[in-house]
Amino acid sequence: MRPRLPVLLLLAAVAIPACATAQQDQHEQPGPGGGFLAQLPPEGYGSLTQSDLTLRVVTPEIEVRMVPLDQRVARLMAPDAYRSLRGLVESRRTSIDSIARRSGTSRPGMALVTFYGQQAGIRFDPQRVAVTFRNQYLQPIGIVPYSPRFNSQQLDVREQVSGIYLFQEELPVGDSFRFSYGSFNSDDWQNKQVMLDRERARVSGRSRSNVDTSVAHH
């Protein structure tokens, strides 16, 4: 049986990235002609769970999970999770913004990556995590640890550690991409697109219905 995420990690997994939060008003403004990147789902109408957004890579020694920290999908989460988790990543704002400034990017891509030990005394290398899409290979430009033992790079059985990974550019959550740890890969994000599109449509419909109801009451 796989270990259950502790409450704090479960909350952290879908938090809104600190830099993205700081620039939220700018990000929400429609760009020329609109477009997916400019249009964020309205808050408070989603129903997805953390598991819906999780990618998994399993090796003989460890399991590695990644959740994209991007408002374009995080806003599709259930309201309580979205609101609660946002503040947790904001608490790392200083470290996240520092890495972004040093890397010269104002809007880094972010993901929560968690390592689970499957055997005792297993070593892991946090730098082996990467994202690939359209012949582009993105390695992390920085990592903000969540767990005190993250930097030890060693796990016991059922032990887990996690950190926020920053990439040079936003993750292509509206497209297909590959999550990898060394030579082990997950292409499951492509399979999630139908679910994400369906939830976006439901969120949009719920939002419009709420607006129509509010107008009718006035």
Q: Which residues contact 156 (CB under 8 A, 6 or more apart)?
A: 117, 120, 121, 122
Structure confidence at residue 213 (pLDDT):
62
Q: Are 25 and 71 in contact (CB under 8 A)?
A: no
Q: Tokens at residue 19, please?
A: 């830099």
Q: State the burial class of residue 48 (Cβ atoms within 10 Å of its Cβ: 0-12, 13-18, 19+).
A: buried
For residues 89 and 101, give the distance between their C-alpha atoms in angstroms, rounded to a whole number.
17
Structure confidence at residue 146 (pLDDT):
87
More confident residue, 51 or 210: 51
More confident residue, 86 or 142: 142
State yes or no: pLDDT of 9 exceeds 90: no
Name the range with the highest mean pLDDT among 7-21, 22-36, 174-188, 200-214. Answer: 174-188
Mean pLDDT (the chain, rounded): 82
What pTM did the predictor assign?
A: 0.80
The band of 27, judged by pLDDT with boundaries at 50, 70 and 90, is very low
The band of 55, judged by pLDDT with boundaries at 50, 70 and 90, is very high
